[in-house]
Amino acid sequence: MRKIIASLDIGDSSIKLIVGEFVKNSLNILCVSEIPSKGIKKGLINNREELIPVLKEVFHKAEEMMGLAIKEVVLAVPAYYTEVLISEGSTTITNEDKVIEHQDLIRAMQAASYNKINEDQELVSIIPTRYKINNEEIVKNPINMLGNKLTVKAVLITVPKATVNPFINVLQKIGVKVLDVVTTPLGDYEANKTKEMAGLLGAVINIGAETTTVSIFNKGILMKSEVIELGGSSIDSDIAYIYKITKKDAKDLKINLGLAVPDMANGQEKVSLTDRLGEKIVINQKDLSEIIESRLEEILELAKKQMNLLTKKNIEYIIVTGGTTEIGDFNILLDKVFTKSHILGKIDIVGVRNNKFSTSIGTIKYYNGRLKLKNKEYSVFNFDELEALSGAHKKVNINENSILGKLFGYFFDS
């Protein structure tokens, strides 16, 4: 079966629907549908009626490109009030040969999560960290080993139901099923990780449109996360206020003329436009870049402070990503703010070469890892759809009980 996965990132600036296919462990992008957001504020739904038409447009655009309807997605959700728990669960090996199989691993993970989640929280990830056979032998991978009992130590990651369920409900409203949920830090880490990071303690910073998310990872496992309510739109507001122009013009200036550091700017690079009072004004690159640098430096300093609040241990790497990091010469500002080893995220897959797609791409990769853990195959398209390559719409049958509150229904059975 072809492994084709669709991810949906409902961001403040835009909604991004990406369809990717894994071929020999390499991700190829089949479709990118992106539409400016409406009805979203700081990563959460604030106007359902405004959001629904935009979501429909995103999926329609993807359908036109693929010639197939996208019926199922893996959803990226913001990291507000993320909780991380460490738990342990065991299961008895019941088959005659006493050979540990994937289903035994799943049962042990179920046991690790049973009665551990608060009623107002939703489980979005279980990450096994240690396996023990017969209460004695610790192994890296228990599959196909012999034993009477398997014990799993795991990290449970939860987010508030109030964050997740509105997204699930609104997608069901337009006939789309949510296969799984991934918090944005997990996606960003998956999109930017290297082999060297697997054994290290580090931080991931995503500077989005309205918010900046700071997360701590230890040996590839999310430990803590916090959201700062400042992002790229704060820069737009600064520019709009100072020059008395619209936020749209301010954003265009930031993207097309501005730099992250004024030292690299050219005062002779200028743009003429009309302000809100109807007067002609001239804006040069150097002055504009000073405004941009001031706000960006504030955001990065706040992120650095938040890192130190989240962990007192030595941080060995810092990944900085998100759409705002695409501002010219951003890497130079990173060198100025951070003395530790840092990496400017770089999404370098054909079709999505922009850090605004970091979460979307990482969400697809993360879900692929979950499939491997559960030893399952999956494609968003069935065999007949792939054969026919038809754009005909088919009604999606969605179980009303598929809300993520049904833990074992969505996590263990999907």
Q: pLDDT digit string (tens) for 269-299?
A: 999 999 999 999 999 999 999 999 999 999 9
Where does residue 293 rank: exposed (0-12), middle (13-18), buried (19+ CB within 10 A)? buried
| Beta bridge partners of residue 3, listed in sequence order | 22
Question: 1: pLDDT confidence band, cut at 50, 70 and 90?
Answer: confident
Q: pLDDT digit string (tens) for 107-164?
A: 999 999 999 999 999 998 898 999 999 988 788 889 999 999 999 999 999 999 999 9
Residue 184 has pLDDT above 90, yes or no: yes
The CB-side HSE value for 227 (13 A sphere, CA atoms) comes to 19
Structure tokens at 111: 């046991």
Residue 40 is assigned to a structural domain of this protein: no
Q: What is the DSSP string of 287-302?
A: HHHHHHHHHHHHHHHH
Question: 395: pLDDT confidence band, cut at 50, 70 and 90?
Answer: very low
Rounded to whole angstroms, the Cα distance separating 112 from 107 reads: 9
Rounded to whole angstroms, the Cα distance separating 276 from 15 reads: 29
**How many structural domains compose the chain?**
1
From the list 189, 198, 116, 199, the residue with the least C-alpha distance to 152 is 116
Residue 407 has pLDDT above 70, yes or no: no
The better pLDDT of the pair 380, 382 is held by: 380
Q: What is the pLDDT of residue 340?
A: 72
Cβ contact 79:215 at 8 Å = yes
- Cβ count within 10 A of residue 67: 13
- Cβ count within 10 A of residue 337: 16
The better pLDDT of the pair 382, 337 is held by: 337
Range of the domain at 93: 83-160
Cβ contact 74:367 at 8 Å = yes
Residue 187 is assigned to a structural domain of this protein: no
Structure tokens at 318: 């810092």
Most confident region among 177-181, 382-386, 400-404 by mean pLDDT: 177-181
Cβ contact 259:287 at 8 Å = no
Cβ contact 203:315 at 8 Å = yes
Mean pLDDT of the region 381-395: 60
Q: What is the pLDDT of residue 388?
A: 58
The amino acid at 75: L
Residue 398 has pLDDT above 80, yes or no: no
Q: What is the pLDDT of residue 392?
A: 40
Residue 400 has pLDDT above 60, yes or no: no
Residue 153 is assigned to a structural domain of this protein: yes
Q: What is the DSSP string of 371-410?
A: HHHHT----SS-HHHHHHT----------TT-STTSHIII
Residue 269 is assigned to a structural domain of this protein: no
Residue 318 is assigned to a structural domain of this protein: no
Cβ contact 206:358 at 8 Å = yes
Q: pLDDT digit string (tens) for 23-79?
A: 988 999 999 999 999 999 988 999 999 999 999 999 999 999 999 999 999 999 999
What is the rounded end-to-end Cα distance, in angstroms, of the chain?
16
Where does residue 208 rank: exposed (0-12), middle (13-18), buried (19+ CB within 10 A)? buried
Which parts of 194-246 fold into alpha helices (H)? 232-243
Phi/psi-derived region of residue 42, left when phi > 0, alpha when psi is between -120 and 50, beta in every other case: left
Gyration radius of the chain over CA positions: 23
Residue 393 is assigned to a structural domain of this protein: no
Cβ contact 388:13 at 8 Å = no
The better pLDDT of the pair 376, 339 is held by: 376
Rounded to whole angstroms, the Cα distance separating 176 from 179 reads: 9
CATH number of the domain that residue 151 is part of: 3.30.1490.110
Residue 127 is assigned to a structural domain of this protein: yes
| Beta bridge partners of residue 256, listed in sequence order | none
Residue 87 has pLDDT above 50, yes or no: yes
Residue 191 is assigned to a structural domain of this protein: no
The CB-side HSE value for 110 (13 A sphere, CA atoms) comes to 17
What are the start-end ranges of the E strands in 134-279?
137-139, 149-160, 177-183, 201-207, 212-218, 221-228, 270-274
